């Protein structure tokens, strides 16, 4: 047998063994989840196309590359919406088929996917206005920005905001998996993780963006600014057999209007950050903050020369 044939036979044997091992793993999982066999799921790739097409409809020239006249612009938008709606309806249909196994009150209405899409389309005017307000907040808050167009096209915070403004109404209308996939597309692109259930007011600005986490039940007011690596999260629950693990409850912060939260701050639990408060960098916060107050770490100090030398020697490992 030639070396090539031997190598091919070895690979075939390894693949056959892997197939058997994977079958065993699938059988083990399915034995514990008999009601979840043969479910359908929304397609991530399809939802990426939906977001891209919706972005073109929301911003025909800047994100849709429309180069025609004003008289034909509505036709361009209509074509994009028609394409997005058709694909979105298919993906929501796949999601509802997934949830059907858990439905306790009979089958979903066959028209439910179309109804969700119709209601979603009715939100797009407000979605556009919210995104415009977020871009305006970024332009006002970042001296490095040269134009609102640059922010919409380039800024990770604005890109994450656009995805959230699309995902949130889908979440509210009963398509949580499709909404979550859209939020994860944004997370992959920007490093910003916003759960589609989070409620966020107008003029929202995430500066830099990377590492920001906003939980499902967070409520954020208007004109709020976050910097990189801010977490609006939940506390780890104590083990309690009486609590169902899938129970939903308000467990993330409330951030009122005009709050600024600087880089690295971690705010956990259903606490309220009062209007106009400022949270300093790297703060760990588990309690309410009254309106207008400032929460900060102790200020770093400049060491006297002798103290500095001792620190330098210690860091050098002498």
pLDDT of residue 73: 96
Q: How far is CA 61 from CA 68, 70, 74, 121, 135, in A?
A: 9, 10, 12, 20, 16
pLDDT at residue 231 greater than cutoff 90:
yes
Residue 36 DSSP label:
G
For residue 161, pLDDT beyond 80? yes
Specify the pairing of strand 294-295 against strand 278-279: parallel
Neighbours of 273 (CB within 10 A): 28
pLDDT tens, position by position, 94-121:
999 888 877 766 778 889 999 999 999 9
Is the pLDDT at 7 greater than 80, yes or no? no
| Helices 176-190 + 70-100 axis angle, to 10 | 120
- Mean of the per-residue pLDDT values for the chain? 91
User: What pLDDT sits at residue 30?
Assistant: 83
Nearest Cα to Cα of residue 184 among 200, 204, 206, 163: 163
34: which 2 tokens?
């008999």
Secondary structure of 294-315 as H, E, C letters: EECCCCCCCCCHHHHHHHHHHH
Residue 241: per-residue pLDDT: 45
pLDDT digits 0-9 by tens, 211-222 = 999 999 999 999
- Please tell me the least confidently modeled range out of 82-86, 172-176, 234-238, 239-243: 239-243
Domains of the chain: 40-191 (1.10.3130.10), 198-235+250-318 (2.160.10.10)
Write out the two tokens for 137.
């907040």
The whole-model pTM stands at: 0.87
Residue 62's pLDDT is 94
For residue 104, the model assigns a pLDDT of: 64
Pairing relation of β-strands 205-206 and 225-226?
parallel
Residue 154 CB-density burial (10 A; 0-12 exposed, 13-18 middle, 19+ buried):
exposed
Q: What is the pLDDT of residues 236-293, one digit of tens each?
A: 865 554 555 445 689 999 999 999 999 999 999 999 999 999 999 999 999 999 999 9
Cβ(276)–Cβ(291) under 8 Å? yes
In whole angstroms, what is the distance from residue 208 CA to residue 225 CA? Answer: 11
The arithmetic mean of pLDDT across residues 65-91, rounded, is 96
- Does position 76 have pLDDT exceeding 80, yes or no? yes
Mean of the pLDDT values across residues 1-27? 79
pLDDT recorded at residue 4:
57
SS3 label, residue 145: coil
Instruction: Give the model's pLDDT for residue 313.
Output: 82
Say if residue 17's pLDDT is above 70. yes
> What distance in Å separates the CA atoms of residue 63 and residue 21, rounded to the nearest whole number?
46
Check pLDDT > 50 for residue 29.
yes
């Amino acid at each position: 047998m030639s070396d090539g044939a031997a190598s091919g036979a070895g690979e075939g044997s390894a693949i056959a063994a892997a197939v058997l091992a994977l079958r065993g793993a699938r059988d083990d999982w399915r034995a514990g989840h008999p009601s979840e066999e043969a479910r359908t799921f929304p397609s991530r790739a399809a939802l990426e196309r939906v977001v891209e097409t919706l972005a073109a409809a929301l911003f025909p020239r800047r994100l849709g590359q429309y180069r025609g006249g004003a008289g034909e612009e509505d036709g361009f938008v209509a074509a994009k919406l028609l394409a997005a709606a058709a694909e979105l309806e298919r993906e929501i249909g796949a999601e509802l088929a997934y949830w059907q196994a858990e439905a306790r009150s009979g089958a979903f209405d066959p028209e439910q996917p179309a109804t969700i899409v119709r209601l979603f389309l009715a939100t797009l005017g407000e979605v556009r206005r919210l995104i415009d307000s977020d871009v305006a907040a970024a332009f006002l808050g970042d001296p490095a920005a040269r134009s609102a167009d640059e922010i919409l096209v380039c800024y990770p915070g604005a890109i994450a905001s656009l995805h959230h403004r699309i995902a949130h109404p889908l979440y509210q209308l009963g398509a949580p998996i499709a909404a979550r996939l859209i939020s994860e597309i944004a997370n992959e692109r920007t490093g910003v993780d916003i759960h589609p259930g989070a409620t966020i007011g107008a003029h929202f600005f995430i500066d830099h963006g990377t590492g920001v986490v906003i939980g499902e039940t967070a409520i954020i007011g208007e004109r709020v600014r976050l910097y990189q690596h801010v977490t609006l999260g939940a506390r780890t629950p104590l083990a309690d057999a009486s609590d169902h693990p899938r129970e939903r409850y308000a467990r993330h912060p409330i951030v009122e209007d005009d709050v600024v939260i600087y880089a690295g701050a971690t705010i956990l639990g259903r606490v309220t950050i009062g209007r106009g408060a400022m949270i300093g960098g790297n703060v760990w916060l588990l309690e309410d903050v009254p309106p207008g107050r400032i929460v900060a770490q102790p200020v770093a100090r400049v060491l006297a020369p002798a103290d500095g030398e001792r620190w330098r020697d210690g860091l050098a490992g002498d």
